[in-house]
Structure 1
Amino acid sequence: MSMEQAESIGAVRPVGAGSRAAWLVPELLADPSWIFSLGEVAAGDMVRAIRRAHRPGQPLIDYRRDDFEFDAALPVLRAAFAETRDGRGIALVRGLPRAALSEPEFELLTWAIGLHAGVPRPQGKATHYLSAVRDIGTVYRSGTGRGYSSNAELDFHTDGADVVALTCFNTAKAGGMSMVSSSVTAHNIMVAERPDLAALLHGTFHFSRQAEQAPDEAPFYPHPIFAELDGRLHSRWNRNRITSAQKLPGVPPLSAAQRAAIDLLDEILRRPQVMYAMHLAPGDMQLLNSHVTLHSRTGFEDHADAADKRLLFRLWLTPPDARALPAAWRPGYRSVAARTVQGRHPRSGLRLGPAGLRAAAGHDTGHGAGGRLGLMAPSRAGAAAGGTWTWPDRGMADRVSVEVLSLGVPRFPRHVRKVRPKGGNTKLGVPGRFLLSPISPQVTCGPACGRGRWRSSRRTR
């Protein structure tokens, strides 16, 4: 870190001390209010809803929130997500009906919970919105390694979304324990013990994108490990990605002091008073707030029978009431404004600015009459990210403003009545701004729509 950076950071101080997010293990053990249980009635409602809605072969993004009536379960789910956002930053929901559902049905259940909770975010270069966490032989310690598809012990890290939901279908033969630490607690311990090293973690580090960058992105990006905004501490940490970035051209080498700082952080995270270890059982769902917790997993030995192998399903979610993020989070999250869709964006398809994102996700109106999840809707949708558009059913804008970022003509369905240029452009596919209008009340354009790069920037009437 340069002298200029050090001066700009200044003296660090404890942040969030005394808040529920700054927990130690004895406090979690003494106060189980972060653990929630679904009763038989709620579980039964889920089974009936999933079996009624499940259509084998239908893509997940084609399901709507209204397809799943979880009436008895919703109060429990809402309380768990509220605890994740405003409380400990960790919640455990027990009692999902694992035994009554097949693997595809349980996967759909996970997706349906996400429909009720927020906006799922893509998790990789394939723009997949739900990951099957299973060992497929991935080499974790590599420039393209992803931990969820290996059986390796993982570094403590942060996932690329506001909330991580992990549901358990099968456990491993041995190992695979989940470990969670409060990043707020770890930061404040570090400030007390080594404020000089804590200050370095508020400076710039470089994270590898693990070869999953979009065409307009570098293979690495700058990001602090800690930053404060509005009295709240935010964290982003992944040693494997920082180590991978050190092998990329253009990344400055870590200083000896920076290495000492991240070594101390990892040591603090694994202290018995700081690190909470738990085995997820079939039917459990773990929720984590990525901004105030860090998590890891022990290595595991799997079963020989494929039907018994360890399997969990992972969703990355942005809740409708997402808080603003520090400006330094922009390289990794794209949008940092409150109540916008934050987190990883697809490699292709739409890139939404804050106004378009609020309209797309319905974050400006809260939960309404749910739309398609791939359309970024837990409520009425205008335009949507993830390579899919939906126009509103009624009472909202009848045109969507589109900015074409690079050459390549997007293909739109026949239901789009007109594509007319704005601002002097004469041909769609030339960088510039255009307006689109639908014919029918609800028009969908799937991932095949985009050959170029384009984004919605605002709605107009």
Structure 2
Amino acid sequence: MQAGQAISTVGSIPGYIKGSCAWQGKDIQESPSWIVHWTPAQIAELETAADHFAKTGIALENITTESFPVATLKPFIADVLHELMQGRGFVMLRGLPIQNWSIEKAATIYMGIGRHMGSLRSSNGKGHLLGHVRDQGAKVEAGARFYQTNKKLDYHTDSADIVGLLCLQKAKEGGESFIASSMALYNEMVKRRPDLIPAMFTPYPTDRRGEVPEGRDPWFEIPIFNWYQGHLSCVYLRHYIEEAQSRFPNAPRLTTEQIEVMDLIDAILQEPGFPLQMAFEPGDIQFLHNHQILHSRNDFFNWPEPERARHLLRLWIAPTTARPLPDYFASRWGSVTPGDRGGIIVPGTKLSVELTV
């Protein structure tokens, strides 16, 4: 059982989640502790490690802890990972001077930090280890994923233990990040509608958005809340759940109770004071623990100059010290082995790093 999750149970299902993981935005909005500023010495060590990596000639997709050496920073990165997985579940690292770096150097430092947390996972069917979150003119209604658009993102989780976002350029207007504790969400749901607890733990068919592993259906089935070996985990993206209902007649139909669960989730997440809002600045890195954090963003509007368009880089990370997951997660995550799970692998996928969209 994690230090951040002291559990009281009702039968085999948790009755209430206590600890630092079950926070509400109104209680920590003004707290400075979730924003961690890099020191000059730490930045210098990161730059030295990036210069070392560049001399090795190794491709970015093959970056390792040995090829990106940060001996002094190792305890700091371990502390960040501990806060993610056993504390509040998120952290903002602020102050990287990316305006002084090339995209290659920024990507190297970002991926190097991530690699010291765990293995890096493909975040799309193309095998990209470094995802580009920017408006590509794509349409969600045409099957695109939200990160390729400028549209508001509903609260959701990603298919990896840890997700990171590095801000290269912020939007002219909008694009603020909102996060919420799915542990606090669960507490509210149990308090308001205990009759819906069984429906929270039943499978919800979810659209894969065309990124279908070999031998799998174009949807996967997983509960929104999952209780396994003393850990409560959340998996949610309502739009893709509803898309599975409309696109795939063979997908199991949602029950009335399951729809009520999603309605209640969405209502609580919109309540003032429940989520935490933050605005990205260039050089910020936001890390989230997907099992206990939901995230979203506002619509955004870009500057007219293409080079000033909102641009974030995404990492999906699998730490070897991650929590155990039930076997059915493998339907989406490929495996449930800590350090070797999560990401999207389809036939023909070759892992790579693309530095331009």
TM-score by length of 1: 0.69
Q: Deviations over 1:343-370 (max 9, x none)?
A: 1352247xxxxxxxxxxxxxxxxxxxxx
Match of 1:272 in 2: 272
Is 1:181 aligned to residue 183 of structure 2?
A: no
Please state how far the C-alpha of 1:188 moved relative to its aligned partner.
1.1
Relative to structure 2, which stretch is displaced further, 165-174 or 34-43? 34-43
Distance in 1 between residues matched to 2:68 and 2:97, nearest whole Å: 15
* Counterpart AA for 1:160: S
In structure 2, the residue matched to 1:205 is 204
**Contact residue 162 and residue 318 of structure 2 kept, 8 A:** yes
SS at 2:163 equivalent = strand
- Greater relative contact order: 1 or 2 (C-alpha under 8 angstroms, separation 6 or more)? 2
The answer on 1:26 being equivalent to 2:34 is no
Tell me how far 1:37 sits from its aligned partner.
Answer: 1.6
- State the Cα distance separating 1:231 from its structure 2 match: 2.6
Deviation of 1:31 after TM superposition, in Å, equals 4.4
Q: What letter matches 2:248 in structure 1?
A: L
Give the 3-state SS of the residue equivalent to 2:126 in structure 1.
Answer: coil
Change beyond 3 A, Cα 1:231–1:27: farther
The answer to whether the Cα contact below 8 Å between 1:167 and 1:286 also exists between their aligned partners in 2 is yes
- Change beyond 3 A, Cα 1:55–1:220: farther
CA distance in structure 2 between the aligned counterparts of 1:39 and 1:149, rounded to whole angstroms: 33
Q: How far off its partner does 1:57 sit?
A: 9.5
Equivalent position of 2:6 in the other structure: none
Q: Give the counterpart letter for 1:162 in structure 2.
A: D
Contact residue 268 and residue 274 of structure 1 kept, 8 A: yes
Structure-2 separation of matches of 1:302 and 1:104: 23
Which stretches in structure 1 are left out of the alignment for 5+ residues? 1-8, 350-385, 389-445, 447-461
1:121 and 1:84 map into 2 onto residues whose CA distance is: 18
Q: Secondary structure at the match of 1:65?
A: coil
Q: Give the corresponding residue for 2:355.
A: none
CA distance 1:116–1:128, change in 2 (3 Å):
same
Shift, 1:11, TM fit: 8.9
Deviations 1:107-155 (A, max 9, x none): 222111122111011111111111011110121244x221111110011
Question: Displacement, 1:282?
Answer: 0.9
Matching residue of 1:163: 162
Q: What corresponds to 1:414 in structure 2?
A: none
CA distance in 1, matches of 2:288, 2:341: 15
Asked whether the equivalents of residues 25 and 273 of structure 2 are also in contact (C-alpha less than 8 Å), the reply is: yes
Pairing 1:344–2:323 present: no
Q: Deviations over 1:33-60 (max 9, x none)?
A: 3332210111122223323433799642
Equivalent positions of 1:363-374 (< 5 A) are: none
Aligned to 2:241: 242
Deviation per residue, 1:233-256 (Å, 9 max, x gap): 111001121011012130133233
Aligned twin of 1:409: none
Deviations 1:192-221 (A, max 9, x none): 101122431211210111111022111011
Q: Number of paired residues?
A: 342
Code of the aligned partner of 1:344: G
SS in 1 for 2:140: coil
Partner Cα distance (2:75, 2:22) in 1 = 25
Q: Secondary structure at the match of 1:155?
A: strand
- Alpha-carbon distance in structure 1 between the residues aligned to 2:304 and 2:72: 38
What is the letter of the counterpart of residue 217 of structure 1?
A: R
Per-residue deviation, residues 268-308 of structure 1 (Å, max 9, x unmatched): 12222221010011111111000011101111001111221
Q: Mark the structure with the bigger radius of gyration.
A: 1
